[in-house]
Amino acid sequence: MYKIVLDADGLIKTYKAGFLLQLTKAYVCLLPEEVYQEAVVAAPIGHADEARALQDLIAAGQPVRRPSARSRVADRILRGWHSLGRGESGAVRLFFQEGAGALLTDDRAFVNFLALHRIPFLTLSEALLNLHAANRLSHQEAERAAEQLHPLIRRSVYEDLRARLEKLR
Kindly state whether residues 86 and 59 are assigned to the same domain.
yes
Those residues whose C-beta lies under 8 Å from the C-beta of residue 16, and which sit 6 or more positions away, are: 50, 148, 149, 152
What CA–CA distance (Å, rounded) separates 16 from 147?
A: 11
Tell me: pLDDT of 168 over 90: no
Cα torsion 124, 128, 130, 134 to 10°: value is 160
Sequence letter at residue 11: L
Is residue 122 a contact partner of residue 14, using CB atoms and an 8 Å limit?
Answer: no
pLDDT attached to residue 25: 95
Kindly state whether residues 105 and 157 are assigned to the same domain.
no
Q: Which tops the pLDDT comparison, 159 or 52?
A: 159
pLDDT attached to residue 148: 97
Number of domains in the chain: 2
pLDDT digits (tens, 9 = 90+) for 34-74: 999 999 998 877 788 888 899 999 999 999 999 998 889 99
Kindly state whether residues 94 and 158 are assigned to the same domain.
no
pLDDT attached to residue 70: 86
Kindly state whether residues 115 and 130 are assigned to the same domain.
no
Kindly state whether residues 69 and 110 are assigned to the same domain.
yes
pLDDT attached to residue 19: 97
pLDDT digits (tens, 9 = 90+) for 119-131: 999 999 999 999 9
Residues facing residue 40 across a β-bridge: none
pLDDT attached to residue 48: 82
pLDDT digits (tens, 9 = 90+) for 22-36: 999 999 999 999 999
Kindly state whether residues 102 and 136 are assigned to the same domain.
no
Kindly state whether residues 103 and 133 are assigned to the same domain.
no
Tell me: pLDDT of 117 over 80: yes
Q: What is the CATH number of the domain that holds 31?
A: 3.40.50.1010
Kindly state whether residues 91 and 114 are assigned to the same domain.
yes
Kindly state whether residues 99 and 163 are assigned to the same domain.
no
Kindly state whether residues 131 and 107 are assigned to the same domain.
no
List the domain range (segments joined by +) for residue 146: 126-167
Kindly state whether residues 79 and 154 are assigned to the same domain.
no
Kindly state whether residues 77 and 143 are assigned to the same domain.
no
pLDDT digits (tens, 9 = 90+) for 60-116: 999 999 999 888 999 999 998 888 999 999 999 999 999 999 999 999 999 999 999
